[in-house]
Amino acid sequence: MCMQKKFFSYISYYQWWKSIDKFILSLILLLFLIGLFFSLVSTSLIASDKLDTNSYFFFFKHTIFVIIGFFVIFFFSFIAKEQLYKISILIFCLSLILLFLVPLIGVEIKGSKRWIDLIILPRIQPIEFVKPFLIVIISLILCSQKYSNLNVKYFISFILTIVISSLLVFQPDIGQTLLIVLGWLILIFVSGINIFFLGSIGLISIAGLFLMIFFIPRFEYIKSRLLSFLNPDTGTHNFQSDKALESIISGGFFGKGIGEGTLKNRVPEAHTDYIISVISEEFGVFFIMLILLIFLIFIISVLRKVYNENDDKIKLILTGSISLILIQVMIHIGVNIRLLPTTGMTLPFLSYGGSSILGTAILSGIILNLTKRRINQ
C-alpha cells in the first residue's frame, strides 16, 4: 500500500512537471533570484547602518521569505483547478477578516496602520494576501451561472471592491486602493461591460477619491503629498522621489558599481519602495532596462496564454493577475522617476518584504496553475 502511494505521488509530480509552462516558471524564478541578488549586494548594508544589526540581516530574511515563496508557488501550481477555486475562497475570507481587524488591532508605522501582529506569525500586511484571491473571487462572480443578469454580477463585484477599497483608504493606503480599483475595472472591461458605463465608473471613482483627500481632515497628509507633487516648489513631501530620481541620473547608463550607491543611506524604505532607484544607481539604467524586459516577456507570455484560452474564468483570472503585477510595476517606477506622487508600493519579485514576496508568490502559483498544458492523465 505504501509503495502504491509513493508510485501515485511520483506520477502526480511527473504530471505537474510535464504540464507546467517551464518558460513562465523560469521567468518567475529568475525575477525572484534577481531580487535576492540585489538584496545581497545593494541593500544588506542598510541593516547594519540603520538597525545596528548584522550586515546581512535583510538578506537572510529575504532568502527565507523567497524559499517559503517557492513552496507557495509549488502548492498553488500543483493543486487541481477546482481545488484552487475552493482554497482561494477560504483564504480570501480569512485574509478579509484580518483586513477588517487592522483598524482595531493593527500596528501603526509612520502614520499608516496597514500591518497586523499575529501571535504565531510575523507581522503581515493583510492586503497582500487579499489581492491575489480577490482577482479569483471577482472572476468567479463574473462567470457565475447563478446569476443570469450580468449587471447583478457587476454590482456584487463592485460592492466587494468598494468594501476593500474603503478599508484601505482609511489605513490610509492610496497606492493599494488604486491597484484594487484598477484591477476591478480591468476585469469588468474584459468581461464585456459597456465602455461608456466603464468610463463613467472610472470617473466617479477618481472624483470620489479626490473629494475624500481634499475635504476629509484625516487625509491632510496625502493632500499635502499630492499638492507637493503638482507644485514641487511649494511642498516638502518630494524628498524621497527627488533623491530617487537624482540617484537614477547619477548612476547613468552603467551605474557606479556594487556598493557605491548612496540612495540606500539617504532614503527610508530604499530596499522596498525605492529598490529600482538603488539598482539603477549602482548598476545603471541598462540593468533596469534588462529587468523591465524580463517583466515584459513574462507579461506577454501570460497574455498569449489568455489569447489561446477558451475557459472564461481562466481568462479573467490570468488577465487580472498579470494586470496586478503590471500596474504595481508601473506605479513603483512612476514614483521613482517622479511621474506619480509618493506612495508606498513595492516592486513585485524584487523588493524586500515578507507579505509582498508571499503575495507575489501566490499570484505566480495561480498563474502557473492556469497556464498548465492539458494532458492525458
Residue range 234-262, pLDDT digits in tens? 655 566 677 777 778 877 787 777 766 66
DSSP helix, strand, coil percent of the chain (3-state; round to 5): 75, 0, 25
290 — pLDDT class (breaks 50, 70, 90): very high
Closest by CA to 281, choosing from 310, 242, 254, is: 254
3-state secondary structure of 113: strand
Q: b/e string for 137-162 if b means 16 or more Cβ within 10 A?
A: bbbbbbbeeeeeeeeebbebbeebbe
325 — pLDDT class (breaks 50, 70, 90): very high
Measured CA to CA, the distance from residue 183 to residue 161 in angstroms comes to 9
Average pLDDT over residues 179-189: 89
Alpha carbon 209 to its chain's center: 21
292 — pLDDT class (breaks 50, 70, 90): very high
Query: Residue 254: its pLDDT value, please?
Result: 79
Mean pLDDT of the residues in the chain: 81
pLDDT at 4 over 60: no
Query: Residue 3: its pLDDT value, please?
Result: 44
For residues 36 and 62, the answer to whether their CB atoms sit within 8 Å is yes
Question: Between residues 305 and 272, which one has the greater pLDDT?
Answer: 305
3-state secondary structure of 319: helix
Closest by CA to 366, choosing from 95, 29, 132, is: 132
3-state secondary structure of 109: strand
Greatest Cα pair distance in the chain: 75
In the Cβ-directed half-sphere of 147, how many Cα atoms lie within 13 Å? Answer: 14
The reported pTM is: 0.87
Measured CA to CA, the distance from residue 231 to residue 157 in angstroms comes to 37
As given in the structure block, the three cell numbers for residue 360 are: 507575489
154 — pLDDT class (breaks 50, 70, 90): confident
Query: Residue 232: its pLDDT value, please?
Result: 66
Query: Residue 336: its pLDDT value, please?
Result: 83
